[in-house]
Structure 1
Amino acid sequence: MNQLNSMQDLLMHDVQMMHSAETQALEGMTAMIQSASDPKLKAAFEKHGVETQQQIARLEQIMTMMDIKPTREANSAVKGLISDTEKLLRKDSSPEILDAMLIAAAQKIEHYEIACYGTAVRMTEDLGLTQAAELLRQTLEEEKKTDKLLTDLAEARVNTKAEQKL
């Protein structure tokens, strides 16, 4: 889609970009799961990997409803966040510091996704696309729960262990 002439066009573009973002995030999650040393953090990443697969399926359902084709274009925001994470994974660090870094990296992606889904929910509601809005709202709530879980893990376990390494 080369032109954005309406809110519908903008929404269609955003759905394509969210699909790309979720697909990229899912691919990047494998390295995060493998790199995490804290068992609860590893489990949180694994759980969110399953949720991400469901989120991709919801986006594909919306794409079918709206007659949108997936794009081959990478989501540049998520691509950059994953690239930054990969650079950090190559640095020498203790497992405790690495876990804290993984939470920070994952939350950056979650915050981006929360912003995207929040905007898309508003647009679908404005356009009267009730079913799409509900699917997007479901994903938005999952992203918020994942962000809270990561915050709770950081505050209760991971950051404390990382601080003890100083």
Structure 2
Amino acid sequence: MGLFSNPIRTLDDLFVHTLQDIYYVENQIVKNLPTMIGKASDPALREALRAHLLETEGHVARVEQVFGMHGQPVKGKDCPAIDGILTEAEDIMGDCDDAEVCDAAMLAAAQAVEHYEITRYGTLVAYAKQLGRADCAGVLAQNLEEEKAADAKLTSIAESRVNRMAA
């Protein structure tokens, strides 16, 4: 148990812990996406990142809604995993000399973030259902579906243009 953490003894505790994790994650993404948007040279990638920033702001609001529905205070919990993914993305963007290669690197980093979010939201939906909280599961499932759609859009952009241009 972390120094300032509550013990995780029940599935409900784990649900709240994971909810705090994804809340932190979504807020870090809101903070970091504008930098990626500014550095993206490919118009389709830039637009996809811009659209996902708006979606992510909605994800934050939905997670806050679930905290309220579950009777918990809105609170994030540091997530070393997402911090690592975002630090790696920053490092790669700083090392890229070629804009098209940088686009491919940013796209890969964005997909790493999406995949992390997909796993977290999938887990949260499963926990919510197991806890008898279909209401929470329904709200979280909306975020999950949007994350899957964002990942599919990024894959399409990578395969149709960005990776080819970087080669």
After superposition, give the CA deviation of every residue in 1:30-79 in whole Å (9 maximum; x if it has no partner).
Answer: 11101100011000000000000000000000011112223353211111
Q: In 2, distance between residues paired with 1:50 and 1:13?
A: 25
- Output the CA distance in 2 between the equivalents of 1:11 and 1:92: 39
Q: Quick one: which of 72, 90, 93 aligns to 1:89? A: 93
SS in 1 for 2:150: helix
Matches within 5 A, 1:94-105: 94-105=98-109
Alignment match, 1:43: 47
What TM-score do you get using the length of structure 1 for normalisation?
Answer: 0.95
- Could you list the runs of 5+ residues in structure 1 that have no partner in the other structure? none
- 1:110 is aligned to 2:114: yes
Q: TM-score, normalised by structure 2?
A: 0.94
Match of 1:125 among 129, 141, 145: 129
Q: Hey, what's the Cα distance between the residues in 1 that align with 2:160 and 2:34?
A: 24
Instruction: Report the AA paired with residue 7 of structure 1.
Output: L
Give % identity: 37
Secondary structure, aligned partner of 2:132: coil
Hey, what's the Cα distance between the residues in 1 that align with 2:53 and 2:156?
18
Gap runs ≥5 in structure 2: none
Number of corresponding residues: 163
Aligned to 2:146: 142
- Alignment correspondent of 2:27: 23
Q: Which runs of 4+ in 1 moved over 4 A?
A: none
